Structure 1
Amino acid sequence: MCAINPQTAFEDERVLTPALEKKHILVVGGGPAGMEAARVAALRGHIVTLCERSQRLGGTVFFSSLAYAENARLVEYLERQVRQLPIELKLGQLVDKELVKQLSPDEVVIATGSKRDAPAIPGAEGKNVFSGDELRKLLTGEDPAIAKKKLSITQRAMMTAGSVISVTDSAAKMRELSKLWMPLGKRVVIVGGGLVGVELAEFLVERGRIVTVLEEGEKFGVELSIVRRWRVLHTLKEHQVNLIAGVTVAAINDGSVTYSVAGEAAVVSTDSVILAVGATANHDLASQLSDLSIPLTQIGDCGGVSYIEGAMHQGHQVGREI
């Protein structure tokens, strides 16, 4: 099998055939799930409109490609396909009920990604605390309000300069710049040791940060494939990252995080905290459009967190079957 090519080992079953009836398909969300659905539907002869609320394609995978460069190749491939095919691309386009009525599609495919709510931890709203979404929007320049809320004037000036010279438009450029400067302190605590948490830890230790990862469960990076997981955990141990499992986080303070393991309290000092937890399905748009009598399909993380493999396989399936 292959995480990003759903036809691998299923070449006879997952065949792309011309659409019997040409339809207008509206795809909402320009991450891997949305781009793959748009690509396959367009190849089959459907009329496809792809709307993305930000000014770039890639979704959260563009951000994850900072930590794992191989993901950038996937985004580049999908974007190239979308731009080469007869797909109407609308960047910077927020989709709501009125727009859907205006476009009048035959079917809507929703690929808006997951929601990431801050966990109920005292201090989680602190200035030194970043959710995964906040860090993504901060580093990619998507939301100036976050920079204003979280960063000093000097840090905001650095971020603005990066945007002006188009550094934030390129994952490769951002990876190089991040080796020189990032809006995070020297000591970083990551709350959550799943896929996002361990890949962030790998990214940060390679940029000179002292990292501690606090995980509620007993294992780290369980969503990763076996070989990738072995490699990440080996790198973290080589860099002496403090991986602590079975954790209950009690509070986040200005310079520390208080937690407990098996009922025993402990404190770790930190300059910055990243919350790599809280991703859940996002049914907001589907609920908003439910009374329009237009067939709706949710794919990717908005229907249930399934990461890149789920996004690509579900995108290919809906594009193949629609």
Structure 2
Amino acid sequence: VVACGKLQTPAFMEKILLDGKADFIGIARPLLADPHMPNKIKEGKLEEIRPCIYCNLGCRHFQIKSEGFRVTCNVNPVCGIEHEYKLVPAKTPRKVVVVGGGLGGMEAALMAAQRGHDVSLYEKEDRLGGQWNILASYRPEVSSITNYLSRELAKAGAQVHCSTHVDAEFVKRLQPDAVVIATGATQKLPDIPGIHGETVLVANDVLSGKAGTGKQVVVLGGGLVGMEAAVFLAKQGKKVSVVDVAEIGNSVGYTLKEALIEDMLEYGVHQYSNVVPDEITRNGLTVMMYGEFVLLKADTVVVAVGSESRNGLYEQLKGFVPEIHNIGDSREPRNSFFAIHEGFKVGNLIPAPVDADFEETLRG
């Protein structure tokens, strides 16, 4: 008997064997995240394992959605290019400042530090992780990647400064040779009447536990964040509806979309695709549906219609520092795959031309 499928830790795998529930352990996706995992387990180097987060982004999603993408891994950019990639020590160590401690900033800082650069990473919050911490607040298993990167940053000698506000003058005073901007994005608000009303919340505040909702909720936006917010609230016993101008889950990877759709059906989430939001009132959200205005009653409207890049610092510093790169959501709002892979490339390129093009590396 071979046990396989999201066996998240070596300790859990070992318990399965010790309890006699299986004869062997089968590992697939985690070997893309870290092909040296079996040897690291054998040698007791468990904290050095780069963990799989079971997102299916690099290993499955892009192969289905995007022609030309190689098989790779969200958390391991070397996956698929092992025979071509080599960590090259910096000929001349540079003073590198990374602003933003999300996944992209952490990966950029790690690669630059491992190559011998003098790296300082600045994060405004009291811990690293950025928006990933919101996901980890209700799916704690995904914090494994931020924990791993934090440990590796310390081993590589990168200086990490949390709870630090950074502006253009702050960076200029540091006199860096290269700057990486990884300041992320903010949630977008649609331009409809009532959007700033008392009953309106943004999804990130709800998912992180910063804000609570009423018993009846309409989620405006049926992408990944909106779907996860809908399931999150429905599991709490809320009566939830989710609406989108397109098909619900249209932009979500097919494996994750399938799982979220199943969850929404199980917990009774009402789905309204191809409807246009018109107005938010104290009574709920009015939408245009099949040529008619319909009121979807709600105590709270949760907004999840995408993000806008927080790239002001990048624009302020262009031309004032010798080298600058803009990565992740600060460059363009997307998902964790692009943040990590762009951070990886920048960390390996410094020193490099300003704002290097990432497309060829991503496509392999």
> Conserved in 1, the CA contact under 8 Å of 2:206 and 2:213?
no
Matches within 5 A, 1:52-201: 52-135=123-206, 139=209, 183-201=212-230
- The two structures have a TM-score, normalised by structure 1, of 0.82
> For residues 72 and 125 of structure 1, what CA distance do their matches in structure 2 show?
32
> SS in structure 2 opposite 1:139?
coil
CA shift for structure 1 position 71: 2.4
- For 1:203 and 1:62, the matched residues in 2 are separated by 15
Q: Distance in 2 between matches of 1:315 and 1:104?
A: 21
Q: Match of 1:208, as an amino acid?
A: G
In the alignment, is the contact (CA less than 8 A) between 1:53 and 1:93 conserved in 2? yes
- Report Cα offsets for 1:208-248 as digits up to 9, x if no partner: 12111111112x23443321221111111111211111111
| Equivalent residue pairs, number | 279
Give the direction of change, closer, same or farther, for the CA distance of 1:14–1:274 in structure 2 (3 Å limit).
farther
Q: How far does the alpha carbon of each residue in 1:227-285 deviate from its partner, in whole angstroms, 9 at most, with x for none?
A: 12211111111112111111111111113111112322111111111110141223211
Find the partner of 2:235 among 197, 206, 209: 206
3 and 113 in structure 1: CA distance in 2 versus 1, 3 angstrom threshold: same
Specify the SS of the correspondent of 2:222.
Answer: coil
Larger Rg computed on CA atoms: 2
**Equivalence for 2:89:** 18
Give SS of 1:294's match: coil
Cα separation, 2, equivalents of 1:85 and 1:115: 30
Name 1:217's counterpart in structure 2: 246
Letter in 2 for 1:232: L
Deviation at 1:48, TM superposition (A): 0.5
Q: Secondary structure at the match of 1:53?
A: coil
Alignment RMSD (CA, Å)? 1.7
Counterpart residue identity of residue 242, structure 2: V
Question: Identity, % of aligned pairs?
Answer: 35
Please say if residues 68 and 199 of structure 1, whose CA atoms lie closer than 8 Å, have aligned partners that are also in contact: no
Amino acid at match of 2:338: G
Inter-partner Cα distance in structure 2 for 1:258 and 1:237 = 23
d(CA) in 2 for partners of 1:87 and 1:223? Answer: 36
Task: Give the unaligned 5+ runs of structure 1.
Answer: 141-181
CA distance in 1, matches of 2:167, 2:278: 39
CA shift, 1:19, in A, is 1.4
Q: Which amino acid aligns with 2:329?
A: D
Does 2:303 match 1:275?
A: yes
Give, in whole Å, the separation in 1 of the partners of 2:302 and 2:155.
38
SS at match of 2:245: coil
Q: 1:261 aligns with which of 269, 277, 289?
A: 289
Counterpart code for 2:283: G
- Alignment correspondent of 2:110: 39
TM-score normalised to structure 2 length: 0.73
**Aligned 8 A contact 1:67 1:200 in 2:** no
- Residue type of the alignment partner of 1:226: Y
2:329: which partner in 1? 301
- Aligned with 1:247 (options 275, 295, 309): 275
In structure 1, what residue type is equivalent to 2:268? Q
Q: How many Å separate the matches in 1 of 2:74 and 2:231?
A: 21
Q: Distance in 1 between matches of 2:286 and 2:266?
A: 25
5+ residue gaps, structure 2: 1-71, 351-364
Partner AA of 1:231 in structure 2: A
Taking structure 1 as reference, are residues 39 and 293 closer, same or farther at Cα in structure 2, changes over 3 Å only?
A: closer
3-state DSSP class of the match of 1:65?
Answer: helix
Structure 2 CA distance for aligned equivalents of residues 231 and 264 of structure 1: 31
Distance 1:72 1:244 in 2: 32
